[in-house]
Every structure is written in structure tokens, then in C-alpha cells.
A and B are shown apart, each in its own frame.
Chain A
């Protein structure tokens, strides 16, 4: 395994972490957004440099030169790190002024650093650190005590399961127990049924922007494909079809819940949970097109959901009240550009041709249907229901008669316009010329298959990790 030319991974994780600490210092409040944006931009640049070096080396796994045992980069995590840094950057740029105080910025930056550390982790202990670091700041922002207590309980349980699995592996315990703990942790974190309520509650009760960012980390599914499957190929062969079925059930369950949901925040959570569960199902199919489709949809869901969440939050800030009720808000007249950004993102999420969502959805459906010819029909059905819900949400927010009280509400501000335009450019460019993105993600899918195959051949139980 060769080394990266410089500690890009450590840098991309340390910079947001340092910025999170700086933004809490007294006197930095006024510059919190600038500090955070610069930190995330730097993190993104370093992640992109890692991707460039990996591509130049033929996507072979490379380790960090200073701390090779802690972090490594490969086709799977390098792109994911760059994507997450970009999503954090868009979130921070587009966040309303009221959400960009020192404390909120610190939350987003700590979450970002934690997620990046988890992606780049070379072993389970580091992954556990990133997993916990990404979770804690968001939990602390849920103000309702009862909700926070329950959410903390469920999400802390996932960290405990992960820690137990790591300890068992360190002790050399092989077989089903460590694997079962890893799967439990992943299911809790991914919000698969019956743990989907935690994610919905975060969207409803917590601050929307960190909640969206946390969901976009997909550390649950990352844990499965990065650690659980390669470490325990034999157990995975038995468990993956069940896990896939659970993910499919969650996808359709949350999609069905969405069709009668009236609260925009909950509806957003349900749509994203359903789509992410479909991605989960695709990634664990062990079919190249399913895994690749899942990885492509990962990008689509990340970008599209970030735009949609940011717009919802911007609207809440503009109309000065939380989004609720069944009435049509009629905001398209005042905010036509935000309406277009939202519509394109929502349609991309459910597979609009001409966006990256179309090839992603196509590959995902083929992969899941290949693996489960009968049960797999759930994926197109769930996507159709989500499409209905997403269009309904768009109609609720932007269509209808304009409200006089909001006549002065501004359309997309320049900073929002640039950030959302960049997101749309990614979605549209990826949709018109998807071969590069699909090939890049296909390499990651091949890497996962190779890791699993190698582990199965050697009969390893993951002691080395």
C-alpha cells in the first residue's frame, strides 16, 4: 500500500475540528460563517486532492503518510469525504443568518470532522471516534428534554454496540457476535425500521441543517460495506439478504407514511429515509449494478437533500414561522429561483432524466430486482410514492395564491444562488454525462466486492482491523 504525498486526510479532518474550536471563542461570533466556510472549503480541497492522487494511482488504496494506522483512502471513502465536505460547505453558505452563530457553526463543523474521520478511518476504533463525534453535537441541540433523552438513548446504543464489536474484535473473538453488534449499530444509525423514528424526530424537533447533514453521512450503511461485510464475509452472506429485506421494508414503510404526512419537516425526513433505505438495500445486494447504483444515489440524495433542506430552512427564516399546516404557501411568485432549485432537486431525487438521479435510480432498481425479483418491486414502488410526496411538498411550499404578508420576502440571495447552482450543475452534468460518475462509483463497488472476496478466500475474521 503506497502513501499519499501529504497528510491530506488528517488535514481535511483537523481543519474543521480546529475551526469548530475557534468558532466557540469569544469575539469570533461575527466571523463564524467566514471561518466555517473557509474551513470546509479547505477540507474539500484536501479531499479532492486525495481523490486526484488515488485516481492517478489507479484507485489503489493509499495510506496516510504520518499516521498510516489511523487513516487510509480508497475508491470508496475518498469520493465520499469530498462529497460530505462539499455538502457541509453548501449548508454553511446557504444557512440563514440566524442559524450561523458560533454555537451552530461549531456543531456543523464538529459533525463534519467526525463524519470525515469515520470515512477515512483505517480501523474500527478510529471509526468509533468519528461515529460518536458526528453524533454528539446534534443530540445536544435537541432542546426538548424527553425527545433528547430518547434519541440519545437509541443513538448511544449504536455507539455502544459498535464499541462492543470493536472490543470483541480486539480480543480476537470471531464469528457471529461481533458481526451482530456491527449490524445492530448500523441498523440503529441508518434508521431502519423500527429505529426510523429517531431520524424523523431529529428533523422535527432539532435544528434542520445539522439534522440533514447528519443523515447525509450514511455512516450506518458505510459501516456495513466498509467493515462488517469485508470482516465477516461468511456471516454477511447469511445476513445480507435479511438486511436487504429490512431496508426494503423501511423504504416502502416510510414512503407509505409520507403520503399522508402534513408537516413539511417530517415529510422531508420520510422521503429521505425511504430513499436512503433503498440505497441501503442496493448497497447490500452484492450485485455490481446494485452497489454502483446505491453509491451513485448516495451522491444524488446527498446533493438533492442538502438543497431541499436548506431551502426549507431559508423559507422558515423568511416567513418567520415554522412550516406547518395543509395550506398552499404560494411562494413561487416571491421566490421563483428557490422554487426551481427545489423542484429540480426533488425531481432529481426520484430519478428525473437529465439529472444524475436517473442513472442512479436505474442501476439501483436493476440491482435490487436482480437480487430479489419479487421483493425488489418495492424499490420502484417506494420511489413512485416518494415522487408523489416530493411533488406534493413542492406544491405545498411554492404553488397557490401568494400571501400578502410575505410579499417582501426575498428570492434566492447571491450566496444561496451560487451554492444551489453548483449543486444543480453537479446533478445535471452527472445526468447528461453519467459515464464518468458511474465508472468512478463502479470502481468503488469493485473494491467492495474485492474486499469481500479476499476476506472470504482467506477466511479472515477481521483481527487485522
Chain B
């Protein structure tokens, strides 16, 4: 096989997916590999992915390329409707792919000891590989359609990992909430992809956003750009836990700490920001959509920092700090910056992963830090708090304690009415039931 940039790109993306399939098949035929083998295979795979990405960067630089497309024609096609199987490596996707490979490998190394003798050790690694594959696919996708593929894989692996400790009911409930939020917001990205296809004739980035990142333009302008931009924003808000869809993020912390680090500190939550960065030419063509992105980002940033300060447990505090930083990233994207949000994403992901991985020993570290400083360190941001009137501070504190009432609002506006409607419809259905007692035939004799 010739070592072209395309080869490096394809191998880097496929490696975790192949490992997932291989491990899944092994389990299905009854083979349960030992922990050491699972961990070593994971390390070798992420080492291999990092190596392939280094090869990709080296070969691109040697050839003087700023972007590389690797495709095998159409994945499937029906007459003019074609879904090409195209991967794209450019200045936006390569850093994020590198980040994914590096942090996934790091989490794999950490988890070997953290989850030692845990009943779900194999399951955790299986889902980690699925997640890594989905993330690499999101960042390397050359079209919105392929991005949706990776997007949904992240969604499923995320929900299954939140329910990792499924013997307790809380993680199960939280996983259902996470999955529902993801799937609800994904309607936006699906509709966005459809309208992009419908109006621009393609969802390939190269066709709809001609040029090289970050100086791309958009073939869509006006109302079309606004509508598609807003649909994609809805999808991104769900994935990046932007207000008012931020309530799922602290619930997702029910999963094991390493998965919280990689999903909700590092990669998964930044996928939404990546989507907005990718769709930035659309935002540039629509000042309204840009304004909405900035507004959502600003609301999320303020909301996140307030709730993080009022949180009493470390993982919730970290989750809301992530939301706050993501809000800032959204604002940067809406304001038209390209490199700044990319650097912000990279830096934030690395720092947050470290914080999440250290979360179980946070108290110990906190006391150690204060002892080393010779007393109590001053609380950051306290000068802003003192500038506010006491009444407002109390009100804001109550607001922050209830996490901005976002879950309550969503329950009142979306899920509550839907549930109420469903209950009314069900009671109406029950009135029409064909049989009043409705016993189960099989149930009576099983």
C-alpha cells in the first residue's frame, strides 16, 4: 500500500472502528480477553493512530498541501442523490483528530488502573473505541452526511457509558435523558443536511464551502444560509450542552470518570463547536445566524460560570465550567474568529481532561494546594460578586442553585406538554380499546 496522505488519513480513522468490531466479534464468540490484553491493544491502536496522523502531517507538508481528500466514490447513491464517502484532512480537522487520538490513548492508559477488576472493564474499552471512531469520523468527515454518521455514534456510545453503572436507577435515568436530548437536537442537524442537499445540491464541504479553511466562502446566502445555519446550531447546542440544553451534562457525570473526561471534558462536547466552525462560512453569510450563535454562547457562558460557582460537587462544577468555556468558544465562532476558537478548543480540552481525571482526588489536591500556599487562596471572581447588590446576589445564587431553571423550563415547554399530550391521547385510546380487560394470552400460560 503506497504511503500517501490519503492512506494515512483512512488508516487513522478506521483503526479504532476495526478494533471495536474485532473486540465485539471476539466477545460474541465467547472469548473474554484479559485486562492486560485489552489495555495493550488499546494503547497500540491509539499509538498507531497518532503515528498515522504524524505521517499525514508530514506527507502533507512534504507535498505542500493544506488539505487532503480521501474518497472511495459514493457510499450509496440513488440517481442524482449521492452520499459520497469522502474524508477531509485540513487545518481544522487534523488538530482535532490529533487531540482525539492523544486523549483517547491517555484515557485508555488511565482507565487500565482506574477500572481494574471492574465488571464492565471490557464494555468500557469497547465503547471507548466506538466513541473514538465516531469522533474521528466527525472531525475527518468530508460532508455533513458523513459527519452525522460519526455524530450518532458518539450519541449512542455516550448514552451507553452514562448507564455504565446500570445496577443503580439514577445512571439509567440520566442516560435516557442524555439520549433524548441528543436525539431531539439531532433533528436540527438532519434538517440542516437535507436543506443543504436540497438547495446547494451537495453536503460536501468542498462543494458548499469552496476554498481552504479558514478562508472559505459559502455557496448559500440569504435566508437559506440563515435557516441551515440555525438548524445546524440546534444540533451543535445539543452536543455542546449550550443553554437551554445544558441540563444533560451534569447528569452525564453518572458514568465512570475516564469517560466523563473524554466525552464531557474533551472531545464530545467540542464536536458541536467543531460543527459551528465548519459551518462558519454559512454564519458569515448570515448576520442573523451569527448573532444567534453569539447570543447562545453568551447566555451559556454566563449560565455556566454562575452554576459552576454554586455547585457543591466537583464533577458538576467542572461540567458547568465546560459549558461556560464552550459558550465563549461559540461567541468567538459567531464573531468570525477561526484560529482563536480552534486554539481555545484544544487548550480547553486538554486542561479539562486533566481536571476530570483528577476529580476523584480533588479534595486531597485542594487541601494540598492551599497548604502549599500557606493558607487559603482567594476565591477567583469574588470582586465581580462584591460589585453586585446583595439582593441581586441572593437571587442569582438561587437561580444558579436551580441551574438557571433550564431543566424546569424545558420540561414545561417541551417534554411536559408532549407528555401531557401523549397521556391524553393514551386515555382517549384506552376508551376506544377493543377489549376492556386486555389480558395477555401468552402471559396467562407462560
Task: List chain A positions with a Cβ less than 8 A from chain B.
Answer: 98-99, 141-144, 146-147, 150-151, 197-198, 201, 204-208, 253, 256-261, 265, 288-289, 292-293, 313, 316-317, 320-322, 324, 328, 330, 332-333, 337, 340, 343, 347, 350-354, 358-359, 362-363, 365-366, 369-370, 373, 377, 380-381, 384, 387-388, 391-392, 395, 398-402, 417, 421, 434-435, 438-439, 442, 445
Q: Helix, strand, loop or mixed for chain B's interface?
A: helix
User: Smallest Cβ distance from B77 to chain A, in angstroms?
Assistant: 7
Q: Are B437 and A144 in contact (CB under 8 A)?
A: yes
1/0 contact trace for B265-292 toward A, CB 8 Å?
A: 0000000000000000000000000000
Ordered by A's residue number, 15 sampled pairs between the chains whose C-beta atoms are within 8 Å are: A197-B433, A205-B435, A256-B422, A257-B422, A316-B442, A332-B166, A352-B153, A362-B83, A391-B175, A391-B176, A400-B172, A401-B167, A421-B28, A434-B76, A445-B78
**Residue of B166, B421, B423, B441 touching A399 (CB-CB under 8 A):** B166
**Cross-chain contact A399 with B163 (CB below 8 angstroms):** yes
Most buried by A among B134, B159, B187, B445: B187
Cβ contact of A322, chosen from B74, B152, B423, B440, cutoff 8 A: B440
Set B79, B83, B441: member contacting A141, Cβ < 8 A: B441
Shortest distance from the beta carbon of B54 to any chain A beta carbon, whole Å? 27
Minimum CB distance partner of A327 in chain B: B169
Cβ of B179 within 8 Å of any chain A Cβ, yes or no, is yes
Option from A98, A347, A391, A400 in Cβ contact (under 8 Å) with B446? A98
Specify which of A207, A340, A343, A399 is in contact with B442 (CB 8 Å cutoff).
A207
Point out the residues of chain B lying under 8 angstroms from A381, CB to CB.
187
> Is A391 in contact with B179, judged by CB distance below 8 angstroms?
yes
With contacts A141-B441, A198-B434, A438-B76 taken as known, whether A253 is within 8 angstroms of B425 at the C-beta atoms is: yes
The interface bits of chain B over 139-174 (1 if a CB of A lies within 8 angstroms of the residue's CB, else 0) are 000000100111011001001100100111100100
Bound-state Cα–Cα, A358 to B109, Å: 33
A257-B183 in contact (CB<8A): no
Partner of A347, one of B77, B79, B156: B156
Q: Are B429 and A259 in contact (CB under 8 A)?
A: no
Residues of chain B within 8 A (CB-CB) of A144 are 435, 437-439, 441
- Contacting pair B198 A142 (CB below 8 A): no
Contact A384 B187 (CB under 8 A): yes
Give which listed residue, B77, B419, B434, contacts A151 with CB less than 8 A: B434
A321 to B167: give the CA distance in the assembly, Å: 22
Q: Which residues of A contact B176 (CB under 8 A)?
A: 388, 391-392, 395
Bound Cα distance from A434 to B186, whole angstroms: 22
Interface SS of chain A: helix
CB-CB under 8 A from A358, the residues of chain B are 149, 152
B91 at the interface (CB under 8 A from A): no
- Once A204-B438, A380-B191 are accepted as A-B contacts, the answer to whether A402 and B426 lie under 8 Å apart by CB is no
> How distant is A360 from chain B, measured CB to nearest CB, in Å?
10
Interface residues of B in 5-49 (CB under 8 A from A): 17, 28
B443 close to A (CB within 8 Å): yes
Contact of A205 among B83, B190, B440, B446 (CB under 8 A): B440
Rounded to whole Å, the gap between the CB of B203 and the closest CB of chain A is: 10
CA distance A332 to B172 in the complex (A): 13
Residues A206 and B446 in contact, CB atoms below 8 Å apart: no
In the complex, what distance in Å separates the CA atom of A340 from the CA atom of B435? Answer: 35
Binding site for A on B (CB under 8 A): 17, 28, 74-79, 81, 83, 134, 145, 148-150, 152-153, 156, 159-160, 163, 166-169, 172, 175-176, 179-180, 183-184, 186-187, 190-191, 194, 197-198, 418-419, 421-423, 425-426, 429, 432-446
The 8 Å CB contact of B421, one of A256, A352, A377, A387, is A256
Contacts of B439 in A (CB 8 A): 144, 205
Known contacts A98-B446, A201-B435: does B77 contact A369 (CB below 8 Å)?
Answer: no
Asked whether A365 and B190 contact (CB < 8 A) given A150-B434, A257-B425, the answer is: yes
In angstroms, Cα B78 to Cα A178, docked, is 33
Q: In the assembly, what is the distance between CA of A72 and CA of B38, in Å?
A: 54
The distance from the CB of A91 to the nearest CB of chain B, in whole angstroms, is: 14
Residues of A close to B172: CB separation below 8 A: 328, 395, 399-400
Report yes or no: B198 in contact with A316, Cβ–Cβ below 8 A: no
Q: A98-B446, A206-B441 are in contact. Are A197 and B78 (CB under 8 A)?
A: no
Known: A352-B152, A363-B81, A395-B163. 6 other contacts (CB 8 A): A260-B419, A322-B443, A330-B167, A351-B152, A362-B145, A377-B187
Q: A337 contacts which chain B residues (CB < 8 A)? A: 28
CA distance A141 to B440 in the complex (A): 12
The answer to whether A259 touches B446 (Cβ under 8 A) is no
- In the assembled complex, how far is the CB of residue B14 from the closest CB belonging to chain A, in whole angstroms? 11
- Are B425 and A256 in contact, CB atoms less than 8 angstroms apart? yes
Are B75 and A434 in touch, CB under 8 angstroms? yes
Contact B438 A387 (CB under 8 A): no
Question: What is the CA–CA distance of A401 and B165 in the complex, to the nearest angstrom?
Answer: 10
Return chain B residues, CB-CB under 8 Å to A332.
166
Task: Please give the distance in Å from B189's CB to the nearest CB on chain A.
Answer: 9
Selected from A317, A340, A369, A380, the residue in CB contact (under 8 A) with B198 is A369
Contact of B435 among A147, A380, A434 (CB under 8 A): A147
In the bound complex, do residue A363 and residue B78 qualify as a contact, i.e. CB atoms below 8 Å apart?
yes
Cα distance A261–B426 in the bound complex, in angstroms: 8
**Residues of chain B within 8 A of A369, CB atoms compared:** 191, 194, 198
B419 proximity list for chain A (CB < 8 A) = 259-260
Which of A328, A347, A398 sits near B169, CB closer than 8 Å? A328
Q: Name B445's closest neighbour in chain A (CB-CB).
A: A98
Q: Which residue of B lies closest to A207 (CB)?
A: B442
Report Cα–Cα, A200/B175, bound state, in Å: 28
CB-based contact B426/A260 at 8 Å? yes
Cα A292 to Cα B76 in complex, Å, equals: 11
Cα A142 to Cα B441 in complex, Å, equals 7
> Which of chain B's residues have a CB closer than 8 A to the CB of A359?
75-76, 83
How far, in angstroms, from A88 to B319 measured CA to CA in the complex? 49
B443 with A316: CB separation less than 8 A = yes
Question: Known contacts A205-B440, A400-B169: does B446 contact A316 (CB below 8 Å)?
Answer: yes
B435 and A197: CB pair below 8 A?
Answer: no
Q: Which residues of B contact A324 (CB under 8 A)?
A: 443
Chain B: CB-nearest residue to A373: B198
Collect the chain B residues with CB atoms within 8 Å of residue A439's CB. 76-77
Most-contacted residue by chain B among A289, A340, A353 (CB, 10 A)? A353
